[in-house]
Structure 1
Amino acid sequence: MNFNPKNKSSNLILLIASFAIVSLILWNTNSFFKKFKEEERLKMEIWATAQSEFQQSSEDADLGNLHLKVFQNNTSTPMILVNKDGSVKTNNMAKEKVIDSVYVQNQIVKFQNENIPISIDQQGEHLATLYYGNSEVLNKLKYYPIALLLIIFLFAAVIFFFFKTNKASEQNKLWAGMAKETAHQIGTPLSSLLGWNELLKTENINPEITKEIAKDIFRLETITERFSKIGSLPKLDPHDIVKETKDAYEYLKLRSSKLIEFSFNSNVDHLQVMLNVSLFNWTIENLVKNGIDAMKGKGSIHIEIITEGKQVHIRVSDTGHGIPKSDFQAIFNPGVTSKKRGWGLGLSLVKRIVEEYHKGKIKVLSSNKQGTVMQLTLKTLS
């Protein structure tokens, strides 16, 4: 079933047609229920007539046989016949229960609510009253419309889910397309900047200036590469995760406020992991920047690498205001942010990079008013 926005008209027609079909089934079921109920009453009236004729001419064998046949043919409708003398006769009811007079009286009240009692009269004289309930088939049938309504509800929920999923998919494609286009547009001025930096190197200026410019140009190239990979499966290669994490740490340390105290620690010197370096650095950058934002530009950031069996944990700690425990999972959802100008995409991208691309795990390890520890876990090659 294709719910493409280009086919909105056909989708609407399909939706209306589906509801029309289900509504028709409901109407038809209701009509069948009423007709079935009318036929049961007609059957009871025939039985009542036979009963009246039998009581008038009990000595007539043929009529007795006719009454017996009508009586025996009714094997589904529960009945209670109350004669004018107060005696009670039951049919199609549990024998162990009908000996209880209270139960029989309760059933009479129930049958009165389900169907109008039939008075058996003969030549103006009242002989008996027939109370009857709905047969088992009729009782099951009356719940059929409810089942159909549930089907309609589930059907509507499925349709809504398809539309919502399709809309989200289209939005994801749009964001991916914008990211790739942004990467493409950045490429032109970036090439120009490379040329200008090479020209500056020929001038009599401090080499440290062109060196720092080269670092920022490389950073722009990295960002361009990241955006160009959104929406496509990135390539993973063996890399030293300690070195790559430390490189990302050093870059952020040099370009952050002096009010932020950075520290780095690792229990190993080298460790090979399958990585896409550009996306991994983006992950570390997002986690560090989120920590800096949580501290409002003043505090401590600590990055720690810990090995555990064939896994490595990278923990990014800050001294910010913390995250409520109820939001530990929600913060990774797109659009969830505590920043006034944030889009809520950073941690959702981090989750996708870590879990979908690198087959790792990311979570809030701990959080309180003294700070937060984010942990991402990856498999090692050794």
Structure 2
Amino acid sequence: MNFNPKRKASNAIMLVSAFVIVSLILWNTNSFFKKFKEEERLKMEIWATAQLELIQSSVDQELGNLTLRVMGNNTSTPMILVNEEGSIKTHNIPEEKAQDSTYLQKKVEQFRRENEPIQIIQDGELLETLYYGNSEVLNKLKYYPLALLLIIFLFGTVIFFFFKTNKASEQNKLWAGMAKETAHQIGTPLTSLLGWNELLKSENINSEITQEIGKDILRLQTITERFSKIGSTPNLVEHDIVSETKKAYEYLKRRSSKLIHFSFSSNIEKLPVLLNPPLFNWSIENLVKNGIDAMKGKGNIGIEIEQKGQYVHILVSDTGHGIPKSDYQNIFNPGVTSKKRGWGLGLSLVKRIVEEYHKGKIKVLSSNKEGTIMQISLKANN
């Protein structure tokens, strides 16, 4: 679904432009590197020629002085000069390392890979071979594209997460708006139902019928309140965690199949916790319904409350098929579901209600082929 085609087009244009700019920079850098390398090659060939002239400098002393100036100008490119007898001379290599024959042999091999050696020949006879490496400037220039790509990659990562967060924020606003609109639309027929129920009471109809209708109307009011709170910060008030959990338990027990066996236990009678009851009960209901679905409508559902230190743990267990350990975290992501029907939003909502609104924690405590135990942990208010 495309909510903002103009923004999508502008993002695509920015991406293509960035790719073109990066490509031009890399191409230009590569061209400059090759040109600089060719110039260094030419400089080394001139140096090799000067070396040959130096050997012959006894014939022309003035030429020899000029040759020395040419040779002295090279202060950046490391060189190793090897004559036909195997004697080695070095230039622009630290003196302490120039005494290490093993180091020099490794350098010769390195220079051979970096640049083709230059042979100094006189009258068809090989006098010396010049091995040279890349200058410090050329080495830095060689790694410049890699540094540039790293910077671009980091910059692209930041941009990606920015757009991803921005998109998620837009989607959250959309879902919150739909939820609030749903709550608003339910409100009108709900008001009429309240009126019709009062009319039925005045007609001396069986009170059990009107009571059950009243319970369902109250349930619709609770659902409306839940949807109206999505996208806004709920108000947390001190409530007894045991009684609130038991309310959700009793409601689900009355309206579930007889094939589902419910159990409730608590090692505390009463404990105050900062809660938003409609949202907290929604979390319990979602966990129980997920358990019922996992059991395919037949099995045992257990709710247990226990206090450990400053925290109270609500454990919801089922005897379903279990959850693979690799999915312990994934199941709380939106859209993740094992059902053929469903949007995979239930556990995502539970996580948001528990962790964002109530500052608690929810996790899969344990799971195997015999069932699953989900744990909600909230801080006690005592």
* Fold agreement, TM-score > 0.5: yes
| 8 Å contact from structure 2 (residues 54, 68) kept in 1 | no
SS of corresponding position for 1:112: helix
Question: Which consecutive unaligned segments of at least 5 residues does structure 1 have?
Answer: none
Equivalent position of 1:49 in the other structure: 49
1:5-84 alignment runs, 5 A limit: 6-58=6-58, 60-84=60-84
Q: CA deviation at 1:122?
A: 5.3
Kindly indicate whether the alpha-carbon contact (under 8 Å) linking 1:19 and 1:152 is maintained by their aligned counterparts in 2.
no
**2:117 matches 1:90:** no
> Could you tell me how far apart the structure 2 residues matched to 1:15 and 1:89 are?
53
Which residue pairs with 2:179 in the alignment?
179
1:231-246 residue pairs with structure 2 within 5 A?
231-246=231-246
TM-fit CA distance, 1:191? 1.0
Deviations 1:87-131 (CA, angstroms, capped at 9, x unpaired): 443222355555666765554454333223334345776543323
**What SS does the aligned partner of 1:381 have?**
coil
Q: Residue type matched to 1:317 in 2?
A: S
1:137 paired residue number: 137
CA deviations 1:337-357 (Å, max 9, x no partner) are 111102111011000000000
Aligned sequence identity (%): 77
Q: Which deviates further from its counterpart, 273-282 or 136-145? A: 136-145
- Cross-structure match for 2:364: 364
Instruction: Figure out how many residues of one structure are paired with residues of the other and give that number.
Output: 380
Secondary structure of residue in 1 paired with 2:320: coil
CA shift digits 1:53-100 (9 cap, x unpaired):
221123655444433333333232122323455544322235555566
Contact 1:225 1:278 in 2 (8 A): yes
Q: Distance in 2 between matches of 1:298 and 1:357?
A: 33
Q: Could you tell me which residue of structure 2 aligns to residue 309 of structure 1?
A: 309
> 2:204 — aligned with what?
204
Instruction: State the Cα deviation string for residues 172-217 of structure 1 (Å, max 9, x = none).
Output: 2222121111111111111111111111101222101110110110
1:4–1:166 contact (8 Å) kept in structure 2: no
Of 137-146 and 55-64, deviating more is 55-64
C-alpha displacement at 1:377, in angstroms?
1.0
> Aligned partner of 1:377: which letter?
S
Deviates more, 1:99-108 or 1:213-222: 99-108
Q: Is residue 251 of structure 1 aligned with residue 244 of structure 2?
A: no
Separation (CA, whole Å) in 1 of partners of 2:187 and 2:364: 36
Normalization by structure 2: what TM-score?
0.91
TM-score between the two structures when normalised by the length of structure 1: 0.91
| 1:143 counterpart SS class | helix
Which residue in the other structure is 2:112 paired with? 112
Residue in structure 2 matched with residue 190 of structure 1 by the alignment:
190
Partner of 2:264: 264
In structure 2, stretches of 5+ residues that fail to align are none
- Residue 284 of structure 2 is matched in structure 1 by 284
Which letter does structure 2 place at the counterpart of 1:46? I
Q: Secondary structure at the match of 2:112?
A: helix
Counterparts of 2:117 and 2:325 in 1: how far apart (Å)? 64
| AA matched with 1:231 | G
User: What is the distance in 2 between the residues matched to 1:273 and 1:104?
Assistant: 75
Structure-1 separation of matches of 2:281 and 2:179: 18
8 A Cα contact 1:332 1:348, kept in partner: yes
> What amino acid sits opposite 2:81 in the alignment?
L
Cα distance, 1:5 vs structure 2: 5.2
Call closer, same or farther: CA 1:119–1:38 in 2, change over 3 Å: same
Q: Which moved more, 1:282-291 or 1:368-377?
A: 368-377
Match of 2:329 in 1: 329
Distance 2:377 2:236 in 1: 16
CA–CA separation in structure 2 for the residues paired with 1:86 and 1:266: 90
Residue 312 of structure 2: SS of its match in structure 1?
strand
Q: Is the 8 A contact 2:322 2:370 kept in 1?
A: yes
In structure 2, how many angstroms separate the alpha carbons of the residues matched to 1:49 and 1:179? 84
**CA distance in structure 2 between the partners assigned to 1:310 and 1:84 by the alignment:** 85
In 2, distance between residues paired with 1:108 and 1:314? 72
Higher mean C-alpha displacement, 42-51 vs 309-318: 42-51
SS in 1 for 2:129: strand
In 2: Cα distance, 1:145 partner to 1:97 partner:
30
Q: How far apart, in 2, do the equivalents of 1:371 and 1:10 lie? A: 50
Range with bigger deviation, 166-175 or 81-90: 81-90
